[in-house]
Amino acid sequence: MKKFLVLSVLCSLIACSSSSATKEDKPEEQQPKNVYRNPVIDYSLPDPSVIEGDDGYYYLYATEDIRNLPIHRSKNLVDWEYVGTAFTDRTRPDFEPNGGLWAPDINKIGDKYVLYYSMSVWGGELTCGIGCATADKPEGPFTDHGKMFRSNEINVQNSIDPFYIEDGGKKYLFWGSFRGIYAIELSDDGLSLKDGATPQQVAGTAYEGTYIHKKDGHYYFFASIGSCCEGLKSTYTTVVGRSDNLFGPYVDKNGGSMMDNKHEVLIQKSNSFVGTGHNSEIVTDNAGNDWFFYHAVSTKKPEGRVLMLDKISWEDGWPTVEGSVASTEAEKPKF
């Protein structure tokens, strides 16, 4: 009888052990193939700018390494691979001694890829400035053309965060950070200011990270408000205004002017992500859906400003993001 009891206990222990091992070894439920999770790149890549190359890849540029500007590429906006940097220690701009490279803006002008960049030391609001570089391919190598202007040369304090746009056959640069957003006309090649051009203010002192998108006869002014870089205390929020003219006035739904710091909130903090701002250009997938990138701080892993992707819908002539917060997972873009 004792022998039977011992055997029974041993068999029970073995069965329990076997059952436990089976449960622990069971693979996690796989993510559906048509779903992605944010962040799409889980390391610091703030201030994203994106462009479609002639080779079928989308190329994304960001601040991350303030020395040389990292470049990634993807065919579906979700799965990214690191390509390299726009500059090397030997080729990087140097018009601001000890300055970092911030907030790149990538464009195709003629047959060249033109990269606008900010160069500044932290807090250097009078000496910071904007420069540009060109390349034959989106992955580079980029040749620096140097400084376009400094804050103290153009009388716009904190001259960073460039954004390029063509409209009506002319080329313009928008820029600024919490000291007003300004615009100026560029030369035909986009590499310098047009002779005699002067800055024109288009938005108030609450904004930085400008991006303007034209759709259905309207101009949509995307920008960021709040603090970008305080970890979980960051208050960065993406906002938008609308105008019938490139130079404004940009207004909210009630007619309040962005010159008076009035706007609509597009995407703000949630339990999962805070500091949601500095969005990229809008990319349209094969199904006609619009997408944009931005950076945020994860509340689960608050190191760095990670790369986020979300779909923009259009309701009554205004852009919206579901719930006005970052998604944790969503259906992938269709390519």
Q: How many Å apart are CA 45 and CA 60, to the nearest integer?
A: 10
Tell me the residue type at 268. Answer: Q
Nearest CA to 100 among 82, 81, 127, 73?
Answer: 127
250 by DSSP, 3-state: which? coil
Q: How many Å apart are CA 195 and CA 57, to the nearest integer?
A: 36
Q: How many Å apart are CA 146 and CA 191, to the nearest integer?
A: 9
* In the block, residue with structure tokens 């002067």: 198
> 203 with 211: CB under 8 angstroms?
no
Q: How many Å apart are CA 305 and CA 295, to the nearest integer?
A: 6
- DSSP assignment of 276-303, as one string? EE----EEE-TTS-EEEEEEEEESSS-S
Q: How many Å apart are CA 321 and CA 87, to the nearest integer?
A: 34
Active-site positions?
47, 208
Q: How many Å apart are CA 244 and CA 241, to the nearest integer?
A: 11
